[in-house]
């Protein structure tokens, strides 16, 4: 027998829409109806909120700019808070009929514009009838990389040690891999606290890595090759965990990993070049 889920006096709603006017006006209306409302303007912000706060209801637009869409947000909510009611908005009436049969993550697809009383009534009805769901047996990419950081590092070291050029630099394993634990922690943090692709954040570990590699006799092409091998090693770790990885967020997370590793690489090269310039001066 399925257990009913108790609803709090003021249910918490996560409202996700890139249209600021819709987002703020709907928030005001729902708060007037005694809901606690938190808003997000894009997928990355929504996923961060889902990871850090509990919610009873998700109201998400389907179409949003940037990486991911409403399906991504709903899948994240089902993974983190399986008992939450998930409602997906679309501005295309025909899509409701087309998707209802195949969309298993959302409780219901709503067509914009929907009368507010009808929407509030639907939310309350769904909250009153919701039952406990079994959590999905999946893991976020961030958790997998954190758990298997040593595996990733060992795979990276093995690949570097068999590389004809990189292996010419004689270093201990500790000297070779000393930068990796912090760089991987930064990747994990980026996955858990998303920011838009292409935005930069200073990496002390990457900057120090450039200076150290310069003193060890590396060249810029060698540093680039090391970074390429790091990405391959990270993706190999994910490959071995495909049975548990949360596929709904995999594409977004892979794009984030590539963006973060490339950002680290750029900072390493800048530091490397500055070290050369300082010696020349």
B/e letters for 53-76, b = 16+ CB within 10 Å, e = fewer, are eebbbbbbbbebeebbbbbbbbbb
Nearest residue to 223 (alpha-carbon basis) of 260, 187, 264, 193:
264
Q: How does DSSP classify residue 91? A: S
Give the global pTM. 0.56
Q: How many CA atoms lie within 13 A of 144 on its CB side?
A: 24
Query: Dihedral through CA 242, CA 192, CA 272, CA 224, nearest 10?
Result: 20
Q: Are 65 and 42 a contacting pair, CB within 8 Å?
A: yes
Q: Report the alpha-carbon angle 199-205-209, nearest 5.
A: 115
Spell out the per-residue pLDDT of the chain, length 281, in tens.
Answer: 445 555 557 899 999 998 899 899 999 999 999 999 999 988 888 888 988 899 999 998 877 766 556 777 887 888 788 889 988 887 655 555 445 544 555 777 777 778 888 889 988 888 887 777 766 677 889 999 999 999 999 999 999 999 999 999 999 999 999 999 999 999 999 998 878 888 888 999 999 999 999 999 999 999 999 999 999 999 999 988 877 787 667 778 888 999 999 999 999 999 999 988 776 65
| Peptide bond just before 113 cis, omega within 30 deg | yes
For strands 108-111 and 57-61, give the pairing: unpaired
Question: Which domains, from first to last, does the chain contain?
Answer: 12-129 (3.40.50.2300), 141-280 (1.10.490)
DSSP state of 131: B
> Using CA atoms, how far apart are residues 79 and 57, in angstroms rounded to an integer?
14
Helix (H, G, I), strand (E, B) or coil at 85: strand
């Amino acid at each position: 027998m399925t257990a009913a889920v108790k609803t709090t006096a003021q249910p918490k709603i996560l409202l996700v829409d890139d249209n600021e006017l819709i987002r703020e006006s709907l928030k005001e209306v729902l708060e007037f109806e005694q809901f606690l409302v938190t808003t997000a303007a894009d997928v990355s912000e929504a996923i961060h909120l889902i990871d850090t706060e509990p919610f009873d209801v998700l109201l998400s637009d389907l179409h949003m700019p940037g990486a991911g869409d409403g399906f991504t947000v709903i899948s994240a909510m089902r993974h983190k808070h399986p008992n939450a009611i998930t409602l997906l908005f679309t501005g295309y009436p025909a899509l409701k009929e087309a998707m209802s049969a195949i969309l298993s993550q959302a409780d219901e697809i709503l067509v914009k514009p929907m009368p507010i009383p009808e929407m509030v009534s639907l939310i309350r009805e769904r909250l009153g009838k919701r039952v406990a769901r079994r959590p999905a047996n999946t893991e976020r990419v961030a958790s997998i990389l954190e758990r298997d950081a040593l595996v990733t590092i060992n795979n990276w070291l093995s690949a570097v040690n068999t590389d004809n050029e990189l292996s010419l630099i004689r270093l201990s394993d500790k000297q070779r891999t000393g930068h990796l634990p912090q760089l991987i922690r930064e990747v994990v943090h980026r996955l858990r606290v998303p920011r838009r692709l292409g935005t930069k954040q200073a990496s002390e570990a990457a900057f120090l890595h450039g200076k150290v590699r310069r003193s060890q006799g590396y060249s810029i092409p060698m540093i680039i090759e090391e970074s390429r091998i790091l990405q391959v090693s990270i993706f190999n770790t994910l490959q071995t965990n495909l049975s548990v990885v949360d596929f709904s967020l995999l594409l977004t997370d892979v794009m984030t990993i590539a963006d973060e590793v490339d950002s680290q690489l750029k900072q390493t090269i800048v530091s490397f070049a500055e070290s050369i310039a300082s010696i020349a001066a």
